[in-house]
Amino acid sequence: MNGIIFISLVLNVVCIYFIYSLWKKIDENNKNAESTDHIEELLELFSQEMRYENERLHKLISDFSSKNEQDRHKIHEKTIETGIETINSITLNEENDEVHIESETKPDTQKVIILAKQGYNAEQIAKMLNRGKGEIELLLKFYG
């Protein structure tokens, strides 16, 4: 009978040990779950912050792009104005021979010739003067 009581006590101690081990694992899992919840909250906050920063960056890029486009448009208009002022105020020099554009030519033809002498190509001149590229090329061949 003493042997049975001893075996019973040993089995009870082993059961208490396993119960304690299970309790520790359950407690550890609860801590991990709390930790996981905390990490999920942090990730959610981080993603919201990143979304806000991305929206802000997108707005800055959009503002910069529209400002840049406006500046380009202003520069283009100023270039056209400068070209027209130049057309009205200077005469051309071609290979050390002064070439005066005859008053009989149309103002648009004068503009085309002067812009060509300034280094613009037919396509750029056509855009500046709102004319066809073929028409500009023809004028350049005829007067150039």
pLDDT in tens, 44-86: 888 899 999 999 999 988 888 888 888 777 777 777 766 666 6
Phi, psi torsion values for 94, nearest 5 degrees: -125, 110
**Interaxial angle between packed helices 2-89 and 122-129, expressed in degrees from 0 to 180 and rounded to the nearest 10:** 80
- As a whole-number percent, the residues of the chain with pLDDT over 70 amount to 81
pLDDT of the residue at 103: 41
Q: What is the pLDDT of residue 100?
A: 45
Instruction: Please report which helix (H) or strand (E) contains residue 1, including its range.
Output: none
Q: Are 113 and 134 within 8 A, CB to CB? A: no
DSSP 8-state secondary structure symbol assigned to residue 105: S
Name the CATH topology of 90-144.
Arc Repressor Mutant, subunit A (1.10.10)
At 83 the pLDDT is 65
Q: What is the pLDDT of residue 14?
A: 92
pLDDT, tens digit (0-9, with 9 covering 90-100), for 121-134 = 989 988 888 888 88
Q: What is the pLDDT of residue 94?
A: 43
CA 101 – CA 113 distance, rounded (Å): 9
